[in-house]
Structure 1
């Protein structure tokens, strides 16, 4: 095989691995977001409040997901990442199926915790693996392509979850989607081979450092904390709204389960995919020109997202609301490629998975842990005054947090050129 053929084979193999990673991340978000479209039937059968739905949709998942991600990422910095990801995929899919057997709030809460345990093995090791498949100048686009699993998975989770629940019931939706993930896990392991740590950079790779070493490295870089909390506060809003928009469509527009499944799947797929992909392209272009570009892309996006989302929730015209949801839905996810690339460039290759997990710790503790609960708790507090429209005003109030997110990203932009290695 000559050099040209070897290079072509390497690209084909890399593309196949990326495709498997995208499918895995899609299943990650199918299992994560299906709870949103099923919230209303679950609430009716199990007699839950909005606050309880918020705890179950966010904190139950985030509790172990957030804390286990770091030790699993440290393992991924030392061992075969494909085994870690495929094992997590099988376990979170199994626990998704277990949600279908829940008879009360606490049983469903515990099953969702199990989903979080499995998904803790999925993201940071994948970021690290992708960073070894693609060189730095292509990394924002590559991470953005991987992150397309978010809108695709969210859309499929909403669509298939809603259609299966409408056809059979919400329990069958959990069982069917969980079974699909369990079947894909061995195929994923067969396709994905770990390329080796540090393969995208020249020179020898150092041994994987301790957690304390990684923490001290990141603690000395203000941009890491600004990026972490900037993304975390934005995720608080975006995760919260992703969970509650189907319920908003049911309560304020009286859409059936099938109708709101199709509508929100369309919003999530179109807006999310466009935002993530073009955010990655801009991140590569601006970030390669100057490191501050990695933070300026999300700063501008967040500044626009809040007002447009408030318009979407304020209008009583369904078609205007749909259009208004698509654009901020795109802008709210444009940070994924640029910010995740910046995190991988703050540390040497042997620290990437652990550094990514520490970033995800902040992002998920704030975003996943609080987002759905905050929107639900405000809705409960406003119900006495606004009845079914309480969720509308709760969502509008939560969007004000995007101002803080934009400011934190602007501050990060000022530091990145000093912190990136």
Structure 2
């Protein structure tokens, strides 16, 4: 990369006191946000009956209605993060999503509920870009992989854990006497909104805004128009990188969305058995991958491979794609279970690695925005393309109980090589951007 392509120079970072306390708070916030994000899924049936919602309306509330706004809101929100005090922006975001989760308990129809869900989406859009920016300025580059991995692993854990917590709260709500007459689902939404409000107090008292890693002259690059020149000036990296990220994200969400259904249709498991099997192999392997792959990338960087993250991303595509194709097409139960384990080891970790990559190559005043763009690509492709495209292929191209399996295998056969080529083309310019910075 030509160092003149951006006016934002890189300088040596300093060790921030209390940095691990800050990471701990961010991890707890992320866990709370995942509960508030998925709690509606946990109580979807009673909400649907109480508010007389259609399946389409509930599908919108659970899927694209949240993901699209969450993704789009991340860009303007990230500008505020890059420009202002990040700890205050985080507190504002937590306050917004917690209050909107609480307000959801008092909704009376689809319109009021989707407005509340919009507030939750906007509030949660703050957290990850701000967390990546804070970690980037609290830790030196060689140390960032571990706290970033811990933070991102929380998402993988709580994607399952949120349903466990939500179910437990809902069960308690059925017999609670604190608010007599309140429907259990309403009490559940109200109850899960409280931890975020309480954690705000701890965060405000213990975490201080770190100094940004920059020179005084670099603040001129913090304007709203600074992101596009940075992306365009490094388009040889960003274009193939984001294409690859979007492609593999659609396959990841496609596999995760249909995995229990595949076990039911292909191997006659019950719904409970299918959920247990997928969860029991998916949760530990996804956490393992989220922690190990960034560590491997860090080891490569310390060994002198500036393109270590890009290399690990290529591995994270090359291994699970043939595994899931074989598991879907061969028809053996244990091969399919093993394929799910391999997929969950690598595919969810790609979102961690790409966010870590954005954190590594971006100047402090642009870090939140590049992470937000990356999340935009992941969420829009993942939530809108993956499950939808596989469903369309299953309905219109294939037929029978193996239709979903054939659709996902076809997607994997096309997406896998495309994503691998994208990361391959991005590898060299990514390494050049890494080598050019000094923090």
TM range (shorter): 0.7 to 0.9
Please tell me whether residue 155 in structure 1 is matched to residue 155 in structure 2.
no
Any stretches of 5+ residues in structure 1 without a counterpart? Answer: 1-9
Please tell me whether residue 239 in structure 1 is matched to residue 246 in structure 2.
no
1:48 is aligned to 55
Change (3 A) 1:225 1:12: same
2:92 is aligned to 87
Please tell me whether residue 121 in structure 1 is matched to residue 126 in structure 2.
yes
Counterpart among 280, 293, 297 of residue 283 in structure 1: 297
Partner of 1:217: helix, strand, or coil? helix
Counterpart among 417, 424, 428 of residue 403 in structure 1: 417
Change (3 A) 1:342 1:177: same
Counterpart among 14, 19, 34 of residue 14 in structure 1: 19
1:7 is aligned to none
Distance 1:305 1:100 in 2: 41
Range with greater deviation from structure 2 (106-115 or 145-154): 106-115
Counterpart among 304, 329, 332 of residue 319 in structure 2: 304
Confirm or deny: 8 A CA contact 2:237 2:427 kept in the other structure: yes
1:6 is aligned to none
Confirm or deny: 8 A CA contact 1:43 1:53 kept in the other structure: yes
Distance 1:371 1:22 in 2: 27
Distance 2:185 2:416 in 1: 33
Change (3 A) 1:196 1:12: closer
Q: Deviations over 1:275-332 (max 9, x none)?
A: 1111111111223422222111111211222222334445766655443312210111
Q: Deviations over 1:313-367 (max 9, x none)?
A: 4576665544331221011133345433332343322221222223323333322
Aligned residue runs from structure 1 range 90-101, under 5 A: 90-96=95-101
Range with greater deviation from structure 2 (183-192 or 67-76): 183-192
Confirm or deny: 8 A CA contact 2:320 2:339 kept in the other structure: no
Give how far 1:225 is off. Answer: 2.5
2:367 is aligned to 352
Counterpart among 246, 253, 272 of residue 286 in structure 2: 272
1:3 is aligned to none
Confirm or deny: 8 A CA contact 1:54 1:375 kept in the other structure: no
Confirm or deny: 8 A CA contact 1:54 1:376 kept in the other structure: no
Partner of 1:150: helix, strand, or coil? helix
Change (3 A) 1:170 1:96: same
C-alpha RMSD of matched pairs (Å):
3.5
Distance 1:419 1:313 in 2: 39
Partner of 1:18: helix, strand, or coil? helix
Confirm or deny: 8 A CA contact 1:59 1:369 kept in the other structure: yes
Change (3 A) 1:264 1:147: same
Change (3 A) 1:311 1:180: farther
Confirm or deny: 8 A CA contact 2:83 2:222 kept in the other structure: no
Change (3 A) 1:106 1:326: farther
Give how far 1:192 is off. Answer: 2.6
Please tell me whether residue 220 in structure 1 is matched to residue 233 in structure 2.
yes
Distance 1:272 1:103 in 2: 38
Change (3 A) 1:23 1:156: same
Please tell me whether residue 189 in structure 1 is matched to residue 204 in structure 2.
yes
Q: Deviations over 1:11-69 (max 9, x none)?
A: 872211111111222233334455666678878985526xx766544321122212221
Range with greater deviation from structure 2 (132-141 or 368-377): 368-377
Partner of 1:194: helix, strand, or coil? coil
Confirm or deny: 8 A CA contact 2:34 2:162 kept in the other structure: yes
Any stretches of 5+ residues in structure 2 without a counterpart? Answer: 1-14, 175-183
Confirm or deny: 8 A CA contact 1:205 1:350 kept in the other structure: no
TM-score, normalisation: structure 1: 0.81
Distance 1:35 1:242 in 2: 18
Q: Deviations over 1:255-287 (max 9, x none)?
A: 345x55544443342121111111111111223
Distance 2:337 2:39 in 1: 20
Confirm or deny: 8 A CA contact 2:81 2:130 kept in the other structure: yes
Change (3 A) 1:47 1:381: farther
Aligned residue runs from structure 1 range 343-382, under 5 A: 343-378=358-393, 381=396
Please tell me whether residue 206 in structure 1 is matched to residue 218 in structure 2.
yes
Distance 2:151 2:339 in 1: 26
